[in-house]
Amino acid sequence: MSAAAPLLSVRDLRVGFVTEGGLLQAVDRVSFDLRPGEVLAIVGESGSGKSVTAQTIIGLTRSKNSRIEGSVNLGGEELLEADDTAMRRLRGEKIGMVFQDPMTSFNPVYRIGNQIVEAIRAHQGGVDKATARQRVVELFESVGIPNAAQRVNAYPHEFSGGMRQRAMIAMALALEPEVLIADEPTTALDVTIQAQILRLLEDLNRQRGLATILITHDLGVVAEVADRVLVMYAGRVVEEGTLDEIFYDPQHPYTWGLMGSLTRIDRPRPHRLPQIAGSPPSLLDLPEGCPFRARCPHEFSKCPELPGLEARLPEVPDHRDRCWLTPEQKREKRQVEGQIGLEAPAEVRRA
Amino acid sequence: MLRFIARRLVGMAFVLFIVSILVFLIFNVIPNSPPAQRLAGKNARPFLVKSIEKEWGFDQSLPEQYVTMMKKVFNGELIQYSPRVPVDDRIKEGIPATLSLSIGAGIIWLFFGLLLGYISAIKAGGWLDRTITGLAVAGISIPVFLLAPVLIYFLTFKLEIFPNGGYVGWTEDPWEWLKHLILPWFTLAVLSIGFYSRVLRSNMLDVMNEDYVRTARAKGLSERQVMTRHVLRNSLIPIITLFGLDFGATIAGTAIITEVLYNIDGIGFYAAESINKLELPPIMGITLYGAFFVVFVNALVDIAYAYLDPRVRLGASASQ
Amino acid sequence: MAIDPQPEATVPAGGPGAALPAEPEGGSAGYGPWRLALRRFLRNRVAVAFLILFALIVLFVLAAPLWADHVAHTGPNETHTLQKLHVGDEVREVVTPEGKPIGPQLFAADGKFFLGADSRLGRDEMVRLMYGGRTSLFIGVVSGLITTILAVVLGLLAGYYRGWVDSVISRALDVLWSLPVLLFGIAIGTSLALGGVTIGPIHIEGGSIWVPILIISIFYTPYVARPIRGEVLSLGEKEFVEAAIAQGAGPLRVMFGEILPNLASTIIVFFALNIANNMLFEAALSFLGAGVQPPNSSWGTMISVGEELLTTQPLLAIIPGLMIMLTVLSLNIVGDGLRDALDPRSKIRFEAHTGTAEPEGAAV
């Protein structure tokens, strides 16, 4: 990736929620940059803080129960300090958002077209309904909804899941934002439809140069479209790097686990599908040190201390992870654990 | 939509039939005493009882008795025996008063119930919400037979602001009509105001957690637009159903007590008077008409609901 | 509770209630759900205060015979029309020649006619209030019990067997639910007033309080049975029910041994709210003369008697009305408090919605 100036820059973002049981630290010191035209994937199990991160960027987690710190900078504007009116203007106009479940993300009582018209007119009051409507038809065509002129008059339940997600994307694009955040955009869809939606996102990214944050728990999705990958666990980034780095030389045992749960057709099937044992810790009561250590098969004496997010491979400064093991140990253990990564020759990986 | 209406109307006809059977059972079959004796009323003379027995065919089989009863009701031949007055006439005379009372109360409770519920929901957790919620619980716990005596005693006898009960026709004198109805309206409405504000509040808080509300925010709508166009609009659909049901139930029931307390000469007043004289024919008529009215309103409400919720209207999930 | 890292909790979180807080005491382990509920309830000061109020009301009406025998020296239905009352040196008429009953004496006559006399019959209002309260509460509680039993049995049958059993029961409940309750109550009340009713071996006299009890408990059954049926339907799909069936448990064992205990919190909440509604219904029926029959008193009949003297003795109508309100209010608040304590999720939904996004983390 070239070092173009980042469009969106998140620094030390912390999001906590006050609950009866204490402060729930959903996101802890997350930092990343999103450059124009780039697809950044944020990967993790549910509860890892990836959706909260995304929703915080557009100010949807603001409430009297939430504690938000750090910095979110979009084109020079500090979003965490922006007032509600400024945030409102920015939603949709600068940042479009696509949600996981297209079934429930449209209001069932309004026609889909009108819901998008509503979005357009909320920002551009001067646009009359007919013009806005015409724009929706064009948008529908551009995201591949057939019979666009008729379909704008349909109600959400008259759309199939895949069509609804296309309409959702059309809505996110309606005001030509610079950034698109797609929060698990394919999770609720059938596998074949998933591929179509991913292709659509990829095309949009290519044609419009749309910077995209793709949030998912599915590394298969990541492999298809992402440029860079951020792996999150228990509210923290545990590994980040380019797609190739993460796939061919994953450094964090949690990432290995995620990869292990991928079935791959280019490998002999393991006799037992590997999976990560146990479940993530409670965010109200995180253990000292590395949050993954309770589930990690490679825990050792250093783990009770929290490792920093650092580049541990001297040749690859933008590949960072939070694990105390040395790169050699990692390579060795990874091979034993499940034949993950490493098959690509080192030259490919560094190319 | 047409198929939905047709299906709903068939269902309605079935319920109406069941209702008429129930009324028949209640008056003619279940009780332990001779039905003619009961219909004739307190202290009826033996020859009246005899003639009623013949008139109603109490010596015939039950299905025949049922047919006789239904014929009498629908031909307007239902008669109260002391004094001998057709029941239908009395009911017709009572309709304007009962409707004035119920419709006015309905408008008041809907307006204040929704207003308070909306404020309570958008300020949820704050002091205003807590005050309204507290008032609402008190409201649903105040029986009309406490509220009416208190209001009448203080506002009518002590302060003499309002007239002492009774009903003045709308056409006779609109101002008097209004003055006579204000207290009864509020008496009848208070319970429902409390109830509706609670229901709207909890509906809205549920809807606020829906994904499409998050979508509405994410596309940059202002908070007020989100609240009115998405949260309120979707929360109102179940309220409309509820209102239909309650309005039917008010006319055919709850209004009775208010009419008695304020001496409003409506259908409920007539029912109460008949209870005290133990006259069954009017009660039979009022029960049957009232139940028919309620069942009919329920069917209308379902159709209105289908109209408001496209998922039902377009048959996606008619059964929900 | 939901904070425990349970394997089954890996369902996608983020829905309502995902941020279900743990008990502030930290360790919810070691306490049963009932104890936790009790603790939550006790922390709700308002609900506890109104529970105490309700207990005081119950004590008040239970003390009726004591007050009647030792303080008022009269029964609830004894008339004192022509009697005189010695208040200190003064002699007062219980009922004036114009028919005006004596007002509240408090302790001026050693507690006799504490609240005055009820009407031209000159009955002791306080004694009637206590005995009337017994009737009202008795009808409320007994109808509540009958409603609950009917509703649980119907709900279990409909929800467990599904199919035609469910259709028949649900249809019947729907019809019952759509009837105007008060009108039918009046209809039954008046048509039974003369001869009563015989159901199999049970005979109920016309003036018996079992007539209103019967009416109330039947008409309120759908309000409880429908939610219970819904809950049984969803419980029927849970693993523990399937496991019980797989182990060869019969339908009765499954319904009463496995499902019923899980309905307990719903039943408790509905029972409290049901009693409140029953008492209002009873008061309405009795006020109109189709419920409790004279000479017995209930708070509803007392209001209708007192209402006639509203201009001169307003308290005769207002005090029984106030008693109904306090009882109903305390039951409503206790019912709400029980619901919040037994089903904390509902409260979370009601109060912690302010954040538009729920943190995903908690339940995972």
pLDDT, tens digit, for every residue of C50-63?
999 999 999 999 98
| Cβ count within 10 A of residue A229 | 25
Q: Is the predicted pLDDT of residue C9 greater than 60, yes or no?
A: no
Q: Which residues touch A341 (CB under 8 Å, ≥6 apart)?
A: A247, A248, A249, A250, A256, A259, A334
Residues C250-288 pLDDT 10s: 888 888 888 888 888 888 888 998 999 999 999 998 988
d(CA A240, CA A226): 12
Mean pLDDT for all residues in chain C: 78
Q: Which residues touch B211 (CB under 8 Å, ≥6 apart)?
A: A99, A101, A104, A105
Region for B213 from its dihedrals, namely left if φ exceeds 0, alpha if ψ lies in -120 to 50, beta otherwise: alpha
Kindly indicate the confidence band of residue A337, based on its pLDDT and cuts at 50, 70 and 90: low
Out of A20, A48, A49, the one facing C24 most closely (by C-beta) is A20
φ and ψ at residue C351, rounded to 5 degrees: -120, -25
| A172–chain B nearest CA distance, Å | 7
CA distances from A162 to A106, A144, A156, A195, C346 (A): 13, 11, 12, 10, 33
| Average pLDDT value for residue range A238-261 | 85
* A positions 139-158 inside 8 Å of B (CB): 155, 157-158
* A positions 13-32 inside 8 Å of C (CB): 15, 17, 19-21, 24, 26
Q: Is the predicted pLDDT of residue B40 greater than 70, yes or no?
A: yes
Kindly indicate the confidence band of residue C180, based on its pLDDT and cuts at 50, 70 and 90: confident
| Average pLDDT value for residue range C40-50 | 89
Contacts of B234 in chain A (CB under 8 A): 107-109
Q: Are strands A310-311 and A320-321 parallel, antiparallel or unpaired?
A: antiparallel
d(CA A276, CA C7): 12
Residues B199-249 pLDDT 10s: 999 899 989 988 999 999 998 898 899 999 999 999 988 888 888 888 888
Contact call for C187 and B31, based on CB within 8 A: no
d(CA B134, CA A137): 50
Q: Is the predicted pLDDT of residue B304 greater than 80, yes or no?
A: yes
Contact call for B221 and A122, based on CB within 8 A: yes
Contact call for A107 and B237, based on CB within 8 A: no
In this predicted model, which residue has the larger pLDDT, A338 or A173? A173
SS3 B79: strand
Nearest alpha carbon to residue A322 among A231, A239, A245? A239
Contacts of B213 in chain C (CB under 8 A): 356
Out of A278, A279, A283, the one facing C362 most closely (by C-beta) is A283
Contacts of A168 in chain B (CB under 8 A): 215
d(CA B272, CA B286): 11
Contacts of A234 in chain C (CB under 8 A): 361
Task: Answer whether B244's CB lies under 8 Å from B303's CB.
Answer: no
Q: Which amino acid is at C17?
A: G
Q: Is the predicted pLDDT of residue A74 greater than 50, yes or no?
A: yes
Q: Best residue in A90, A109, A110, A183 to probe B by mutation, most B CBs within 10 Å?
A: A109
Q: Which two tokens stand for residue C293?
A: 């029959």
pLDDT score recorded for residue C143? 95
The residue in chain A having the minimum alpha-carbon distance to the alpha carbon of residue C27 is A21
Task: Answer whether B247's CB lies under 8 Å from B297's CB.
Answer: yes
pLDDT score recorded for residue C118? 76
| Cβ count within 10 A of residue A49 | 29
pLDDT score recorded for residue B78? 82
Q: Is some CB atom of chain B closer than 8 A to the CB atom of C195?
A: yes
Q: Are strands B79-81 and A236-242 parallel, antiparallel or unpaired?
A: unpaired
CA distances from B197 to B27, B136, B293, C172 (A): 39, 7, 26, 30
The residue in chain C having the minimum alpha-carbon distance to the alpha carbon of residue B134 is C333
pLDDT score recorded for residue A266? 56
Q: Which residues touch A329 (CB under 8 Å, ≥6 apart)?
A: A298
Contacts of C21 in chain A (CB under 8 A): 19-21
Q: Best residue in B146, B192, B221 to probe C by mutation, most C CBs within 10 Å?
A: B146
Q: Is some CB atom of chain B closer than 8 A to the CB atom of A99?
A: yes
Nearest alpha carbon to residue B150 among A8, C333, C319, C50? C319
Contact call for C362 and A281, based on CB within 8 A: no
pLDDT score recorded for residue C50? 93
Out of B220, B233, B314, the one facing A92 most closely (by C-beta) is B220
pLDDT score recorded for residue C7? 31
Lowest mean pLDDT among A290-294, B304-308, C233-237, C345-349: C345-349
Contact call for C355 and A26, based on CB within 8 A: no
Contacts of A55 in chain B (CB under 8 A): 214
Kindly indicate the confidence band of residue C31, based on its pLDDT and cuts at 50, 70 and 90: low
The residue in chain B having the minimum alpha-carbon distance to the alpha carbon of residue A116 is B219
Q: Which residues touch B224 (CB under 8 Å, ≥6 apart)?
A: none
Residues B135-148 pLDDT 10s: 998 888 888 888 88
Q: Is the predicted pLDDT of residue A350 greater than 80, yes or no?
A: no
φ and ψ at residue B34, rounded to 5 degrees: -60, 130
In this predicted model, which residue has the larger pLDDT, C228 or C120? C228
Q: Which residues touch C24 (CB under 8 Å, ≥6 apart)?
A: A20, A21
pLDDT score recorded for residue A250? 87
Lowest mean pLDDT among A280-289, C24-33, C312-321: C24-33
Mean pLDDT for all residues in chain B: 85
Contact call for C13 and A47, based on CB within 8 A: yes
Task: Answer whether B131's CB lies under 8 Å from C360's CB.
Answer: no
| Average pLDDT value for residue range A172-176 | 89
pLDDT score recorded for residue A27? 92
d(CA A237, CA A259): 16
Kindly indicate the confidence band of residue A305, based on its pLDDT and cuts at 50, 70 and 90: confident
The one-character DSSP state at A217 is S
Residues C281-308 pLDDT 10s: 999 989 888 888 888 888 988 888 888 8
Q: Best residue in A62, A99, A105, A215 to probe B by mutation, most B CBs within 10 Å?
A: A105
Q: Which two tokens stand for residue C144?
A: 């509540």
Residue with tokens 């019969």, as numbered in its chain: C250
Contacts of B38 in chain C (CB under 8 A): 191, 194-195
Task: Answer whether A77's CB lies under 8 Å from B204's CB.
Answer: no
pLDDT score recorded for residue A33? 92
The residue in chain C having the minimum alpha-carbon distance to the alpha carbon of residue A67 is C355
Contact call for C310 and B27, based on CB within 8 A: no
d(CA A160, CA A325): 48
pLDDT score recorded for residue A274? 54
| Average pLDDT value for residue range A1-19 | 82
d(CA C36, CA C27): 11
Burial (CB count <10 Å: 0-12, 13-18, 19+), residue C250: exposed
Q: Which two tokens stand for residue B63?
A: 């299905």
Contacts of A275 in chain C (CB under 8 A): none
d(CA B273, CA B269): 6
Residues C96-148 pLDDT 10s: 777 777 777 777 667 777 777 777 777 888 888 889 899 999 999 999 999 99
Q: Is the predicted pLDDT of residue C28 greater than 70, yes or no?
A: no
Task: Answer whether C141's CB lies under 8 Å from C327's CB.
Answer: no
Contact call for B220 and A88, based on CB within 8 A: yes
Contacts of C359 in chain A (CB under 8 A): 15, 17, 24, 26, 52, 283
Q: Best residue in C4, C351, C364 to probe A by mutation, most A CBs within 10 Å?
A: C364
Contacts of C354 in chain A (CB under 8 A): 63-65
Predicted ipTM?
A: 0.86
**% of chain A exceeding 90 in pLDDT:** 27
Residue with tokens 């979370």, as numbered in its chain: C348
d(CA B165, CA A212): 71
Q: Which residues touch C358 (CB under 8 Å, ≥6 apart)?
A: B209, C13, C14, C15, C16, C18, C19
Contact call for B220 and A119, based on CB within 8 A: yes
d(CA C254, CA C331): 32
| Average pLDDT value for residue range C39-56 | 90
| Average pLDDT value for residue range A97-115 | 88
Q: Is some CB atom of chain B closer than 8 A to the CB atom of A84?
A: yes
SS3 A182: strand
pLDDT score recorded for residue B144? 87
pLDDT score recorded for residue A179? 92
Contact call for B314 and A157, based on CB within 8 A: yes
Geometric angle at alpha carbon C53, from C49 and C58, rounded to 5°: 145
Nearest alpha carbon to residue C322 among B262, B134, B193, B149? B149
Out of A24, A45, A66, the one facing C362 most closely (by C-beta) is A24
Task: Answer whether C9's CB lies under 8 Å from C363's CB.
Answer: yes
Q: Are strands A211-216 and A179-183 parallel, antiparallel or unpaired?
A: parallel
Residues B146-182 pLDDT 10s: 888 888 888 888 888 888 777 888 888 888 888 889 9
d(CA B111, CA B117): 10
Contact call for C23 and A60, based on CB within 8 A: no
| Average pLDDT value for residue range A73-87 | 89
pLDDT score recorded for residue C55? 94
| Predicted model pTM | 0.81
| Cβ count within 10 A of residue B294 | 26
d(CA A73, CA A81): 10
Host H or E run for residue A69:
strand A66-74
Q: Is some CB atom of chain B closer than 8 A to the CB atom of C348?
A: no
CA distances from B84 to A20, B77, B292 (A): 70, 11, 25
The one-character DSSP state at B232 is I
d(CA C235, CA C155): 12
d(CA B129, CA B126): 5
| Cβ count within 10 A of residue B272 | 22
Host H or E run for residue A41:
strand A39-43
Q: Is the predicted pLDDT of residue A262 greater than 80, yes or no?
A: no
pLDDT score recorded for residue A3? 56
The residue in chain A having the minimum alpha-carbon distance to the alpha carbon of residue B211 is A105
